[in-house]
Amino acid sequence: MTAQADAEERRHEAALRPRRLGEFIGQRRVREQLGLVLAAARARGRAADHVLLAGPPGLGKTTLAAIVAEELGVPIRITSGPAIQHAGDMAAVLTSLLEGEVLFVDEVHRLARPVEEMLYVAMEDLRVDVVIGKGAGATAIPLALPAFTLVGATTRAGLLPSPLRDRFGFTAHLDFYEPADLERIVERSAGLLGVPCAPAAGALIAARSRGTPRIANRLLRRVRDYAEVHGNGHIDTYVAEQALRLFDIDQRGLDHLDRALLRALVARFGGGPVGLSTLAVAVGEEQQTVAEVSEPYLVRAGLLERTPRGRVATAGTYEHLGLPLPSGVGRWGAGIGQAAEPLPWDTAEPGHEDAATHGLG
């Protein structure tokens, strides 16, 4: 995807995002909890407690951060963990904040250690210690900060050090969406896009969205394109089915890469176990893409197992590919009795793998 196309995609996503908490669909428990935190802050006339949003990609963490600022009636400053690698950069951001402003840090688990240590003091004591000079003559000058609300987003909460995690006054754990909520999201987005969409077509798109609103909105836009080019602009089940087939999205929401992974696992490695790096090479894809984009959904859908020895095909894998079930594969997979590895957003160490997982399987 080109930079221009990527920017266009982000622009469309932003246009479909809800602005207020009452417009946010799904995550009912999180909405109730966050609504209470924000209402209490407004009643006291003070900045809200720091908020940590944890969960898989595409579930609305960035949207909720913007909603926090909107509900509090304050500006929002947006940055990310990889963008701030030096304590001086974070000091510059913190000292430029306005009273009550929201600072949103995406991928907060990727902050450098010196930046994290500066945040400890800033979050708890509203202070930044700026060091002037070097060596024995260095002097730390404390700078007072205005009250602010840090909203951190992470797909890997296990990577956050305890001192940083404990300074968040409220932690929200976002989970994959129910089909009914995704149908409402598709209906709302179709209305914002001005595209007539039959309820059954919306349900079909929602069912193939892997429990993720971002994917639901992306698929809706592609189906809209198909309806405008090959139809009369109206989305019905036939148009939705044909469009999703054109873009290689099958009945369970699997795309070309997902199916390539499953076929390689079965055809080239006998159903596993096979290491993640080996599996990624087999399909010509980056290991991180496989681990963070395809694998989490395949595991959740029961089409793949993560075991200490490597990735293993399940009975559902063979069924989905239309292949006969070989002997030795149990009802739920070949790795019965083996502990499953955590998914990426729960991993304690980035890229952590068992030694055998990096082997040739």
Active site residue ranges: 61-62, 106, 155, 214
Length of the chain (residues)? 361
DSSP 8-state assignment for residue 51: E
Q: What is the dihedral of CA 81, 83, 87, 89, to 10 degrees?
A: -140
What gap in Å lies between CA 133 and CA 143, rounded to an integer? 16
Mapped onto helix, strand or coil, the DSSP state of residue 325 is coil
In 3D, which of 25, 245, 47 has the Cα closest to residue 146? 47
Contacts of residue 325, Cβ cutoff 8 Å, sequence gap at least 6: 315, 318, 319
What gap in Å lies between CA 100 and CA 112, rounded to an integer? 25
**First-to-final CA distance of the chain:** 32
Mapped onto helix, strand or coil, the DSSP state of residue 79 is strand
Listed as own residue / partner, the contacts of 82-85 with beta carbons closer than 8 Å and 24 or more positions apart are: 82/107, 82/110, 84/111, 84/112, 84/115, 85/112, 85/115
Cα separations (Å) of 205 from 27, 36, 45, 99, 302? 19, 33, 43, 43, 20
Name the residue with tokens 């809200």: 48
Contacts of residue 61, Cβ cutoff 8 Å, sequence gap at least 6: 53, 55, 106, 153, 174
181's tokens: 């909520």
Q: How far is CA 123 from the centre of its chain?
A: 24
Q: What is the 3-state secondary structure (H, E, C) of 118-177?
A: HHHHHHHHCEEEEEECCHHHCEEEEEECCCCEEEEEECCHHHCCHHHHCCCCEEEECCCC
